Structure 1
Amino acid sequence: MVSKMISSKFQVTSFRGYLISFFLTSLIFSLFYMSAFFKTFNNVTTLWSSKPLVIPEPSYPVRFAYLISASKGDVVKLKRTVLALYHPGNYYLIHMDSEASEEEHSEIAEFVPSYDVFEQMENVWVVDKPNLVTYRGPTMLSATLHAMSILLRKASEWDWFINLSASDYPLVTQDDLILAFSDLPRDLNFVQHSSNLGWKVNKRANPVMIDPGLYSLNKSEIMWADKQRPVPTAFKLYTGSAWTVLSRSFAEYCIVGWENLPRTLLMYYTNFVSSPEGYFQTVICNSEEYRNTTVNHDLHYIAWDYPPKQHPRLLGFRDYRKMILSHRPFARKFKQDHGVLDRIDRDLLSRQNGEFTTGGWCYKRDNSTESCSGLQREKFGLLRPGTGARRLRSLLRKTLYTDDFETRQCK
């Protein structure tokens, strides 16, 4: 009996001890949890009050990376072209030929930081070590490849590379261009090309030339070798326009060159007259991966004399209507500050000389005297396309969605 009482008392004591231990443990965990909760709450409250949420800026459907080349005496034209082309969603690299004077290089170097939006967006650069460019030599091609490599490294988000000169000018706003290209496959390459070299076989393919600009500090004419070379059999030659719109993927292919084709052709075109009019055409049309991405168009309005001369003729008022009806986004060549540029500014770009082209990011009401001179942050990411987008979309539809589109690719 006594043993049963002791056992019963022991059980009660054990049960009470268990309850006490349970409550103490629960209390400790509750205090610990509440302490952690308030500590976390305090941290969140402090974070919220000292660092407001950062809302990411809206992006654009597509982005372009521009190379704008200029030479001696082109400073005024270059500045005007850059301002007409500028958009905060794009990237711009300026190459001023090393033949230009120190004053011209200094003026361009001071031009970029003179605009707050350039400094704010950090999307306009000047080539620090410019190339010496020889007319008809491969040094322009070298400068273009150099620019592509810089833009690939400095800007991670762009879809197409566009090479222009200071003598080019846009016929549409960048909002128009962005919207028109937003529906296109990102691998398309606008490269005007043909395998029918004609007279170029004897005048460009067969002769062997050397460009002193590749090794000399002073510009001089290209030099000719005594012997000629036959047309290649390892690859097929193509020719076309030096003005292109290249996809980022193809640009990487030309620069990185995971196949040897781009390097092989670069060495061949080192001794080829006017190599920018054949290099990209020959690379893309001899590449199994990219030959079916070509669009046989350079998106430029260019007027030639008949019969054609060495250079296209300068555009003027008599070409204005034809430029618009061509639905092309770019035109060349223009004389410095020609009156037709003022008309393009007024009628097509809604800008005044010295200002940016009006767009969703920098918009002014009709008949307003307010200048489009800086980024309106609340409007960044907005597009305000105009009639230029409709014209360009019409051109792209006619070019891309035709029955003979494939038959015009690398034939």
Structure 2
Amino acid sequence: MAPGAFDGFESRYLELLAALAGAALRVSELLETLERDAAQHGLVARDLMQEAQERRGGHLVGKSQLMAQLREEVRLVAGSDMNVLITGETGVGKELVARGVHAASGRRDQPLIYVNCAALPESVAESELFGHARGAFTGATTARAGKFQVADHGTLFLDEIGELPLTVQPLLLRALQEGEIQAVGADELRHVDVRVVAATNRDLAREVEAGRFRRDLFHRLDVYQIHVPALRERREDVPVLAGLFCDLARRGLGLGPVRIRPDALALLEVAPWPGNVRELENAISRAVLRASAGVERGEPVVVTAEHLTLATDQPPSAARGEAGARAVARLSEGQTLRQALDDHARRLIGAAVDAAGGNWAAAARALGVQRSNLHRTAARLGLRGESATPGPRAGRRGRR
């Protein structure tokens, strides 16, 4: 630029031009800062979502063959767009499997919407699933989107699908068949692209035969079935899960390192766990809280068998066997919880060893525990190593 190019301009115009240039520069710098902060916030949000997932149980945890097969099934079906029916007892982690299917699918960046069918009253179930128009019924002052619309392009998880009212089942069937929904009080149909993952602790085939569930809906849902095993079927996963739940309890309570002593771990490994993984998590949470009493902040916390209180208020069933029923019955006779649990463990171990002809390695395999843990538990309970007959009891350890 030639010297004196601005000589013809008044100074106030030059000052205004300089101010505008400075403002533009500051705006540019501010935009760069905002973009950088947004990227950082995105990373933080991703980390927080990952942490939230871990606090809910994270991934499908376990080293057993059954869990390896389960993870492979999740990986296999996630890559498709098939509807999935997840079966298993209460507390085994069916919701976690559903989250795993969604997270590994092509819909992972779209919403995963949860619906508890057991909590849907028949009077509002249709509105909750498919939405309603304004004025559709008394109190409908505004239009409201249903779960199917909210889950469009994503995944809809229908938990406890066996509890869905019969009157709503035909509407769900139409949504699955045609990919179309109609809000309550609306005239037009809406197309939705939703993958449905359903879960139940019921035998839906029996529910169909009993007339409590539609056969055509069952087959629409049961395109690919995943069965989640009970915890008693994969006892080798108990130590891994116990460690995970100890860490979750540690973080939740703000404690120092937490570890489980072998006597507590041995008791956990032979417990019947009718409530499955959820019951184990609750037992660990209680035990960690008790073990932390009187421990200085940041100091190690050690969970022992004395800190464990395993639930025994469920009614005896065939799954827990006659020995479990006798153990629960003794509680009403003045026996302590610890004594009842020990008696149950003695009978369980004794039956396994007797059935294996005195072969402790075979008994350990039948119980799904390590042989060393079985010997340790047997010694604590006063059982002789050579047989399952009671040994010395007055606080002395039985010999192996």
TM range (shorter): under 0.3
What is the TM-score with the length of structure 1 in the denominator?
0.24
What is the TM-score with the length of structure 2 in the denominator?
0.25
Q: Which has the higher helix share?
A: 2
